[in-house]
């Protein structure tokens, strides 16, 4: 591939900080960069507590167990998302309930409220699904492609019913709400716990890594305890609970500190490239660049090309093939999770929009180091296919 979909851009202090780890031999799961990365993240997103861990999926697993999700509980998840937040529900022995998406590929807030109001009953401070009889313990809104989920209408009703809100902000580092009650808040800091990922394809990377954030000190202490093997006495090795080795290494954190320094610049580039694509794609009949919500300042992590196959004359598969022939990596939206083999017997609530969004969307190259020539090449193919 000559133009990849989404790759890291390492042009800041990455070498310097990593070299320092090697020179000082602080390479493992303790070190000043782990502390500094946690501090930098919580200052950047504006929250009290942060716990670094080995990847975003591990962060989600810890978050769900902190939410008190038990075997046979239910957790509301979107059907359109990378599968990680769905799998973690099963890691805990719980059951996903799949929700449809809105215009921004995110969990549909209205339908979710509808589900909570019509399909559940509130008893003794807990909510139960009328059909299955199971407790609904949590919801995982995923800020898909960097688009902020419309969380404002969901937070109060969830809080009232004891449904914990675990934000999957893996793709949305840098996105913040700009309107309404959540104005000024970063995605990941509006619910009970937020999870970020720093995998290689995300807007900033640590190679592999994640961070948990919360405003609750007790919760933060417990998260640190669980990600670090649940050591009640670290000298005599007393463990009163079952912990995990989910820590981030100093090497990864060093990369993260350097990348976070670059994030403001990355955000500007992403926005500029979004506008360039948008301006030119709008001129092509049958094509449209997916809008972003007007209630948030978006990180524009991933660009979504929306195709009207009748007007355009080609469908998503044909277009993907032509791009591939030309050495350009594109990707359809993830296959709908309520149709995946491990989940096809789970509950799905009024999934109506998602199949169409899946059929008509193609993700186009969005890396920070995308050049003007790269974008012009993508546009040339779109015009001439
Ligand atoms: C990348 C991603 C994750 C998982 O993060 P890892 O660090 O790769 O484990 C979870 N949720 C979403 C939406 C993601 O895009």
Summarize pLDDT for 277-319 with one digit per residue, the tens.
999 999 999 999 999 999 999 999 999 999 999 999 999 999 9
Distance from residue 89's CA to the centre of ligand 1 (Å) = 14
Atom number in ligand 1 closest to CA 143: 13
Strand partners, 53: 210
Residue nearest atom 5 of ligand 1, based on CA coordinates = 56
Distance from residue 252's CA to the centre of ligand 1 (Å) = 16
Contact between 198 and 210 under an 8 Å Cβ cutoff? The reply is yes
Distance from residue 141's CA to the centre of ligand 1 (Å) = 13
Q: Where are the alpha helices (DSSP H) in 49-101?
A: 56-66, 84-91
| Pairing status of strand 136-139 against strand 164-168 | parallel
Question: What structural domains and CATH numbers belong to the chain?
Answer: 14-259 (3.40.640.10), 263-384 (3.90.1150.10)
Distance from residue 132's CA to the centre of ligand 1 (Å) = 29
Residues 254-285 pLDDT 10s:
999 999 999 999 999 999 999 999 999 999 99
Report how far residue 300's alpha carbon sits from residue 281's, in angstroms, rounded to the nearest whole number: 16
- Band of the pLDDT at 149, cuts 50, 70, 90? very high
Ligand 1 pocket test, pick from 6, 52, 53, 56 with the greatest ligand atom count within 8 Å of Cβ, gives 56
Q: Which pLDDT belongs to residue 384?
A: 94
Query: Structure pTM?
Result: 0.97
Q: Which pLDDT belongs to residue 30?
A: 87
Ligand 1 shell residues, CB under 6 Å: 55-57, 81-82, 84-85, 142, 168, 170-171, 197, 199, 210
pLDDT tops 70 at residue 1 = no
Report how far residue 100's alpha carbon sits from residue 78's, in angstroms, rounded to the nearest whole number: 6
Q: Where are the alpha helices (DSSP H) in the chain?
A: 14-24, 32-45, 56-66, 84-91, 109-119, 152-161, 217-227, 250-281, 309-312, 316-325, 354-360, 372-384
């Amino acid at each position: 591939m000559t133009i990849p979909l989404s790759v890291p851009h390492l042009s800041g202090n990455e070498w310097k900080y990593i070299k320092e780890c090697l020179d000082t031999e602080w390479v493992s799961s303790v070190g000043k960069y782990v502390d500094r990365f946690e501090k930098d993240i919580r200052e950047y997103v504006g929250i009290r507590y942060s716990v670094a861990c080995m990847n975003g999926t591990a962060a989600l697993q810890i978050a769900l167990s902190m939410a008190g999700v038990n075997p046979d509980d239910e957790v509301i998840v979107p059907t359109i998302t990378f599968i990680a937040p769905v799998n973690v529900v099963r890691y805990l022995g719980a059951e996903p309930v799949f929700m449809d998406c809105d215009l921004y590929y995110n969990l549909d807030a209205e339908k979710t409220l509808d589900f909570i109001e019509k399909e559940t009953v509130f008893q003794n401070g807990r909510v139960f699904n009328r059909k299955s009889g199971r407790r609904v313990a949590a919801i995982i809104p995923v800020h898909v492609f960097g688009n902020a989920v419309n969380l404002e209408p969901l937070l109060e009703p969830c809080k009232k019913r004891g449904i914990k809100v675990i934000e999957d902000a893996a793709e949305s580092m840098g996105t913040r709400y700009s309107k309404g009650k959540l104005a000024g808040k970063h995605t990941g800091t509006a619910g009970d716990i937020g999870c970020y990922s720093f995998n290689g394809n995300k807007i900033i990377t640590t190679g592999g890594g994640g961070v948990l954030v919360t405003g609750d000190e007790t919760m933060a202490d417990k998260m640190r305890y669980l990600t670090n093997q649940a050591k009640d006495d670290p000298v005599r090795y007393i463990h009163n609970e079952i912990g995990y080795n989910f820590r981030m290494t100093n090497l990864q954190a060093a990369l993260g500190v350097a990348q976070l320094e670059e994030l403001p610049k990355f955000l500007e580039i992403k926005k500029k490239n979004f506008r360039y694509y948008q301006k030119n794609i709008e001129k092509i009949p049958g094509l449209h660049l997916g809008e972003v919500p007007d209630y948030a300042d978006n990180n524009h992590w991933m660009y979504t090309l929306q195709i009207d196959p009748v007007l355009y004359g080609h469908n998503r598969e044909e277009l993907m093939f032509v791009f591939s022939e030309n050495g350009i990596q594109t990707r359809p939206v993830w296959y709908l999770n309520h149709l995946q083999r491990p989940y096809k017997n789970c509950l799905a609530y009024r999934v109506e929009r998602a199949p169409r969004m899946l059929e008509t969307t193609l993700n186009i190259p969005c890396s920070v180091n995308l050049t003007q020539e790269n974008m012009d090449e993508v546009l040339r193919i779109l015009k001439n296919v």
